Amino acid sequence: MKLSDNKATLSFSNGRPAIELPVYSGNIGPEVIDIRKLYGQTGMFTYDPGFLSTASCQSAITFIDGDKGELLYRGYPIEQLATQCNYMETCHLLLYGNLPGAAAQTAFVKNVKYHTMVNEQMQFFLRGFRRDAHPMAIMTGLVGALSAFYHDSTDINNAEHREVAAIRLIAKMPTLVAMAYKYSVGQPFMYPKNELSYAGNFLHMMFATPCEPYVVNPVIERAIDRIFTLHADHEQNASTSTVRLCGSSGTNPFAAIAAGVACLWGPAHGGANEACLQMLEEIQASGGISKVGEFMNQVKDKNSNVKLMGFGHRVYKNYDPRATLMQETCNEVLEALGLQDDPLFKLAKAVEKIALEDDYFVSRKLYPNVDFYSGIVQRAIGIPVKLFTGIFALARTAGWIAQLNEMISDPEYKIGRPRQLFTGSPRRDVLPIANR
Ligand code: CMC
């Protein structure tokens, strides 16, 4: 971060002298006003619920230009990564800052594969859950529980521990998600098969059984890999900020990532893919395309509390580039599976078209986000709706851990501790119970 020639002056109407605040520039994107000394100099805090204008850290990992609809991981456009690289290369990029050459890629993949199994005890822990537990409830527990099994990689201040924890998390997430699925359907857990690709192995653990050979469909494998790449990171979103805040106390990486999983679950964030598919299914059940207008009226009615799930984004005020790629993947998968006439896909396209022509959405710059089409692809592949957010968590783990490790290596990092504007009662005395 460079000191800008630009300076900010904060003046007050009550006669307090004005203060000058330094301004820093990044390499691209808006400049930031450094308010770290504001409280010391003025006794005042800033107020910004939801971080609408607050940069909580400096980061060199992911950049989003929300107006242009551009997403870069370490400078590379998501369109190029999704079409020219695989998820393992993307993980390497996020973690180490560069796309690996052939030798580095082989070594990285080998390292990840070495860690794909989970401690056998994990399955006994998993068996404590109800069979109908939501997979994200299970994932929150399982990821946090990793810290009870891998004591040699829990010291966040030790660079070697951080490195091993990163690889372990990326390697074990598919195993845990697949175990959560197998448990819910009462099938035996399938051990990882390291001869397969990362995505292929995930499909194997999900859909193979010990009874018959399972052959990975290359179109599905590529689609899953692309879903992973598209979800791998997204700068300081709610779950990533949660991971950073949680990790800033010095807790172990597994605990910090478990906090990210918990945050991701919400329907305004990663849970939107599940909520979006449920929404489409409900419109379909109520009459399909002919009922879209009625549904849109509910969405636009401020008293209804109904949102068009998979639409809108805090940062994108243009088409989410991941949604475009996801729609392409959707086409490919449906065609490969002979499901071109999938009614939900048709419905989703109709909803999108109506929304993009409606002044409510146009004036608020609401466009489809990554979750609008991802559910349709996953459903076509045979992934149950409840598992969608688990797959998002699996993929986002690379971003979470890269961001966590970046924060710990940043000499400027401090425990996160926001301030508040207090609106409660001033000091008062406790009365004896009979007088309250
Ligand atoms: N449907 C209907 N109205 C919407 C929607 C929507 N999906 N999204 C935003 N709006 C309206 C909102 O009511 C507000 O209207 P008004 O100005 O009249 O009060 C205006 O658009 C601005 O929205 P906001 O709530 O101030 O925007 P935000 O930045 O706080 O929220 C969001 C962003 C993603 C939480 C929100 O757009 C939303 O809830 N979308 C649906 C859930 C969703 O798809 N989430 C996935 C996000 S992408 C993947 C991820 O990050 O996990």
69, 322 Cβ separation under 8 angstroms: no
Q: What is the structure's pLDDT at 404?
A: 97
Mean pLDDT (the chain) is 95
Give the mean model confidence (pLDDT) for residues 321-336. 93
Q: What is the structure's pLDDT at 279?
A: 94
Task: Ligand 1 pocket test: pick from 234, 362, 366 the residue with the most ligand atoms within 8 Å of its Cβ.
Answer: 366
Annotated active-site residue 358? The verdict is no
- The overall pTM is greater than 0.85: yes
- The structure tokens listed for 427 are 């000091």
Q: Which of 134, 204, 313, 320 is catalytic?
A: 313
Give the mean model confidence (pLDDT) for residues 60-67. 96
Q: What is the structure's pLDDT at 1?
A: 83
Q: Which of 98-107, 364-373, 424-433 is the least confident region?
A: 364-373
Percentage of the chain lying above the pLDDT 70 cut: 100
113, 169 Cβ separation under 8 angstroms: no
Of the pLDDT bands very low, low, confident and very high (cuts 50, 70, 90), residue 340 is confident
Percentage of the chain lying above the pLDDT 90 cut: 92
Sheet of 2-10: strands edge to edge? 2-10, 19-25, 32-33
Q: Is 371 in the pocket of ligand 1 (CB under 6 A)?
A: yes
Nearest CA to ligand 1 atom 30: 314
pLDDT at residue 91 is higher than 90: yes
Q: Is 366 in the pocket of ligand 1 (CB under 6 A)?
A: yes
Give the mean model confidence (pLDDT) for residues 244-267. 97
Encode pLDDT of 123-159 as tens digits. 999 999 999 999 999 999 999 999 999 999 899 999 9
Give the mean model confidence (pLDDT) for residues 150-175. 95
Name the packing angle between helices 87-96 and 218-230 (round to 10°): 20
Output the CA torsion sign for 170, 172, 178, 180: negative
Q: What is the structure's pLDDT at 164?
A: 95
pLDDT at residue 49 is higher than 90: yes
Q: What is the structure's pLDDT at 200?
A: 98
Q: Is 273 in the pocket of ligand 1 (CB under 6 A)?
A: no
Q: What's the CA-to-centroid distance between 312 and ligand 1, angstroms?
A: 5
Burial 90-103 (b: 16+ CB within 10 A, else e): bbbbbbbeebbeee
Give the mean model confidence (pLDDT) for residues 364-393. 93
Q: Is 271 in the pocket of ligand 1 (CB under 6 A)?
A: no
Give dist(CA 391, CA 387) in Å, integer.
Answer: 6
Annotated active-site residue 313? The verdict is yes
How many residues are present in the chain? Answer: 436
Task: Ligand 1 pocket test: pick from 311, 324, 389, 394 the residue with the most ligand atoms within 8 Å of its Cβ.
Answer: 311
Q: Which of 333-337, 415-419, 428-432 is the least confident region?
A: 333-337
Give the mean model confidence (pLDDT) for residues 314-325. 92
- The structure tokens listed for 145 are 């529980």
Of the pLDDT bands very low, low, confident and very high (cuts 50, 70, 90), residue 345 is confident
Nearest CA to ligand 1 atom 49: 269
As a whole number of Å, the end-to-end CA separation of the chain is 56
Task: Ligand 1 pocket test: pick from 303, 369, 373 the residue with the most ligand atoms within 8 Å of its Cβ.
Answer: 369
